[in-house]
Amino acid sequence: MMADLLAVALAGTAAAGETLPESGSPVDALLPAATGDAAAERRLLLAAGAEAIYRLAGYVPAVAGEPPSPAPDESLPACSPAAALLLRLVVVGPHEDLLPEALDRLRRAGLRLPFDLLPLALGRREPELRAALLPVLGERGRWLSDFNRAWAWAAETLSGDAEDMPPDAETVWQEGSAGQRIALLRRLRAVDAACAREWVAAVWKQEKADFRQDMLRALAVGLGAGDEPLIEAALDDRAAGVRAEAAELLARLPSSAYIGRMISRAGALLAFGAGGKLDARPPKALPADAVRDGIAEKPPRGTGERAWWLGQILARVPPSHWSERFGSPPDVLIAAAGGSSWRRALLEGWTRAAARFEDRDWAVALWSAWRVAPAKERQTHALEDDDDLRLAIAHLLPPDVLELAATAALEQAVTTDDTALDETLALLHVPWSAELGAAYLRGLRARCERLAKTSREVGAYVETLDRAAHALPPACFDAALDPLPVPDDNSHWSIRQLRQQFDGLTETIRLRTRLIEAIPVPDADN
Amino acid sequence: MAYTADQVLALAPDSGSAANGRKLANARHWKALGRSEAAVWGECQGSAVYQVRAELASMAVKCTCPSHKFPCKHGLALLLLAVDPGAVPVAEPPDWVASWLAKRAAPDHAKPAKAETTAGVDTPTGPTKEQQRRIEKREALIAQGIAALDLWLADLVRGGLAAVEGQSAAFWERPAAQLVDAQAPGLAARLRRTAEIPGSSDDWPERLLAQIGRLALLTHAYRRADALDPALREDVREMAGWFLKEEEVAARGEHVGDDWLVLGQYAQEEERGRSQRTWLVGATTGRPALIVQFAFMHSPFKETYVVGSRLRGELAFWPGAAPLRAFVVAREVIADPVAALPAAAGIEEFLASVAAALARNPWQERFLCVLRGAIPVYDTASGCWDVREPGGVSLPLRDAEHWRLLALSGGRPVTLTAEWDGATLLPLGVLAEGSYVQLAGVA
């Protein structure tokens, strides 16, 4: 046996003696002829070598158990080989930036990712990418995710139609992973909200704080008046995260006692004063019941306490309440508050309320108000905050309002250095309309032509080329690939930068052209 | 005549060729037989008349038949006939023989290789006196080197392998460097690979003993190389360090024409550079071939082989008992990629072929494995990967993650190509849904 030879070899022939064990294999018979009267060390080595080869040649494979069950058949067809090739560039790099668009096309075309890209796809961590990946992983992707704990997110969407509950729902709810249980709860909410609520109530006390918070968040699906008692009780939870989540949910229930309490708090806050001026009278101290309702006591640095409280309370009152109470449309009320020293807090509170209650009328009026904010105010407050607030209501605006704003910004940026151009474009739905795409390319060219005549500064456009490369619609591709009228002057860094950016745009547009050809989406204009 | 019938039959690519050669080694199948000092020739009646010629010094054969096997049965038969000096009349070589001999002697065909790299066996032209002197000098050096290596190995075993773990790199490097000085670079490389074993896994003592045992068998074989089968002698001398140049391989090695499927490829860091191994298999012959390339530092490899592509052409194999290493003599790329694999076997059948190859060359370390009906499995509890047949017979996969293989197979049987090192399989590629996907060497 090899083990006997090994024992002698490990100890050394000096210690173990010169008598060698026999291997017990046919190799023994061959050795005397080969080794003759060689020393013990040599005989040991030759015996070990022969035994090693004998065992190599006589390798006996292990007999393992039955393999795990194979992946179910796919319901979605695979994409074409050409598409698979492109997807590889996009998933593995170097064109990761096109991943969201590629995945979206794949989903709309009703296709799935090629199998060999699944491990890389499952390894992605970005939540928005995961959401885009889920519909294109196919059965194989979900099957595969079972073998790697880091990929469990893929199985958290349960297989089958969103409307059907899996047959083993009760078992999953009792024994599944946290992710699976929440996924199941969300689905049950969509089918039978009351039943889901009973499930939550039954386990509420025994679950950890994080999971209680996750369960509350799941109740957002199909939220209704019947949920109020459970959520109201959660306002007194010992975990701050659960209390905050409960306040968020109650603030979305228009008929809740919570909203009623907010309206009564707000009742004394706003009043018309002399000369049609709308003014605010924020509380001087924050009552305990307001704290219970999720109003944070301590303001962030740079904001006064009273303005902070005012903003938070307003943010939880449906804006329509004000239109009805004062009998005036939003734009009139906003204008009337223009002279108030609390103007900024009022605008912020209303904007957050418009976003929360999805009030389109108020959103349009507030959008204009933010556009015309006095220059002084724009300087004293960080611009990012303004943009955050505008972003929060941008999705409530009719597309033409946003597009109008963007078109104006594009024209303006031809002659001036409006640094907010990229931020304005960021609010637009992607892909852009053909009209906006044309306006963009027109503006970019006009700016380049000015470069030759006046200055060498490229201005705000240079920051937008990357965004445009991903947002331009296919109808604009040909025009986008036309060379830019840039002066032949490499000495200026800003022109070099523009050239570089434009090369990047060209490459992205070319790849998008190939993606669109390789993954055709039926019944779509692009 | 310097060779025997046994030596001729040892050239046969397989037992069938040997048997057919024996059958044709009868003057009644032949016309216009003749011999000179350098060559023997004749015309053999097969499905057509084939012109067959052989160079006596090298036993190199050329035949006009279309067989992929080399040497073909006609060539073997001619050499067998010539074993008996009386069987073939002395004559003046016809043109088709004379021109072939002249071409073989021309320097652009078989360049007179440097003595250091000539394998010390008969080259087509035969070594010059100066070359012969250098070969003898090198033989003496290698003999000394081997003697020193054997002593060092004996010391190792006398002191016990347990003492080896924790030895510094110099412990292994000193004898390895001595082997380089003794002009036995092949043995030096083997010893350096052995140095990586101690401490590398739980079963390292057993692996180390197996490795130095095989090294001892190699020096044993080298010492008595003259008694070995000529083909195995080629292997043993190559392994010691008498590396053949491609010209020598082209002149003396077996040439096989086929559609060669490029199955897999991987690169490894080496001292002062990188090596790359590319596995091919012949579509009609089913023969495996291994192309090894070296590149210094960051320079690229000389030839590019695209995994999943097909090459139509001729390979020249390094001479040996089970020729495996080869280089491409002539090729054209065929448009269609690999869509089906020849010579796919079940696990037991594959292991039997490994045993057969080891019987011819006991030192072979790598085997091409084309498995059909293999189910890749990852056991989450143990963290182990293997491939299984539906009955459960399994082979372990090399220690790494094989997620792409698992994704491509989906737990269903696939045709898998891999490299077997005697303990684990390194997956090279997989045929799934009608297309061949590269596994090794891909992100």
Confidence category of residue B112, pLDDT binned at 50, 70, 90:
very low
Asked if residues A356 and A251 have their Cβ atoms less than 8 Å apart, the reply is yes
Of B240, B116, B256, B253, the C-alpha closest to B190 is B240
Contact between residue B49 and residue B55 where contact means Cβ atoms under 8 Å apart:
no
Structure ipTM: 0.71
- Which ranges of A268-319 would DSSP assign to H, the alpha helix? 288-292, 305-314
Expressed in angstroms, the distance from the first to the final Cα of chain A is 72
Contact A70, A140 (CB under 8 A): no
Residue A47 near residue A5, CB atoms below 8 Å: yes
Nearest CA-CA distance, residue B432 and chain A, Å: 10
What is the sign, positive or negative, of the torsion defined by CA atoms of B110, B116, B120, B125? positive
Residue B406 touches chain A, beta carbons under 8 Å: yes
Q: Do A119 and B407 touch (CB under 8 A)?
A: yes
Adjacent-strand bridge partners of B276: B267, B293
Q: Indicate the residue of A48, A63, A65 with minimum beta-carbon distance to B209.
A: A48
CB A443 within 8 A of CB A413: yes
Q: How confident is the model at residue B361 (pLDDT cuts 50, 70, 90)?
A: very high
Q: For residue A72, give the chain B residue with the closest CA.
A: B410
Which residues between 6 and 65 in chain A have a beta carbon less than 8 angstroms from any beta carbon of chain B?
Answer: 6, 9-16, 34, 39, 41-42, 44-53, 55-59, 61-65
Q: Helix/strand/coil (H, E, C) string of chain B? A: CCCCHHHHHHCCCCHHHHHHHHHHCCHHHEEEEEECCCEEEEEEECCCEEEEEEECCCCEEEECCCCCCCCCHHHHHHHHHHHCHHHCCECCCCHHHHHHHHHHHCCCCCCCCCHHHCCCCCCCCCCCHHHHHHHHHHHHHHHHHHHHHHHHHHHHHHHCHHHCCCCCHHHHHHHHHHHHHCCCHHHHHHHHHHCCCCCCCCCHHHHHHHHHHHHHHHHHHHHCHHHCCHHHHHHHHHHHCCCCCHHHHHHHCCEEEEEEEEEEEEEEEECCEEEEEEEEEECCCCCEEEEEEEEECCCCCCCCCCCCCEEEEEEEECCCCCCCEEEEEEEEEECCCCCCCCCCECHHHHHHHHHHHHHHCCCCCCEEEEEEEEEEEEECCCCEEEEECCCCEEEEECCCCCHHHHHHHCCCCEEEEEEECCCCEEEEEEEECCEEEECCCCC
Q: How many CB atoms lie within 10 A of CB B326?
A: 25
A-chain residues near B150 (CB < 8 A): 42
Sorted by sequence, the CB contacts under 8 Å of residue A181 that are 6+ apart come out as A172, A173
Q: Report the alpha-carbon distance of residue B436 to residue A115 in Å, rounded.
A: 13
Question: Reduced to 3 states, what is the DSSP secondary structure of residue A66?
Answer: coil
Res. B104: pLDDT tops 60: yes
Nearest CA in chain A to B382: A147
Determine contact, residues B429/B436, Cβ cutoff 8 Å: yes
Tokens of B385: 């990967």
On whether the CB atoms of residues A141 and A103 are closer than 8 A, the answer is no
Per-residue pLDDT of chain A (526 residues; tens, 9 = 90+): 678 889 888 888 888 777 777 777 777 777 777 676 778 899 999 999 999 999 999 999 999 888 889 999 999 998 888 888 888 888 876 678 899 999 999 999 999 999 999 999 999 988 888 889 999 999 999 999 989 988 988 876 554 445 567 777 788 888 888 888 888 888 888 888 899 999 999 999 999 998 999 999 999 888 988 999 999 999 999 998 999 999 989 988 878 899 999 998 888 888 888 778 888 888 888 888 888 998 888 888 888 889 899 999 999 999 999 999 998 999 999 988 888 888 888 999 999 999 988 899 999 999 888 876 555 555 455 545 676 787 788 888 888 888 888 898 898 888 877 567 887 888 888 889 999 999 999 999 998 888 767 666 777 888 899 999 999 999 999 999 998 888 777 677 778 888 888 988 998 998 899 899 999 987 654 4
For residue A48, which residues of chain B lie inside 8 Å, CB to CB?
A: 209-210, 212-213, 216
- Please identify which residue in the block is written with the tokens 């699906």: A221
Distance separating alpha carbons of residues B344 and B346, to the nearest angstrom: 7
Cα dihedral sign, A332-A338-A343-A347: positive
Q: Which tokens belong to A513?
A: 């052209």
Residue among B153, B390, B407 minimizing CB distance to A144: B407
> In this complex, is the C-beta atom of A70 within 8 Å of any C-beta atom belonging to chain B?
yes
Q: Are A115 and B407 within 8 A, CB to CB?
A: yes
Residue in B closest to A69 by C-alpha: B411
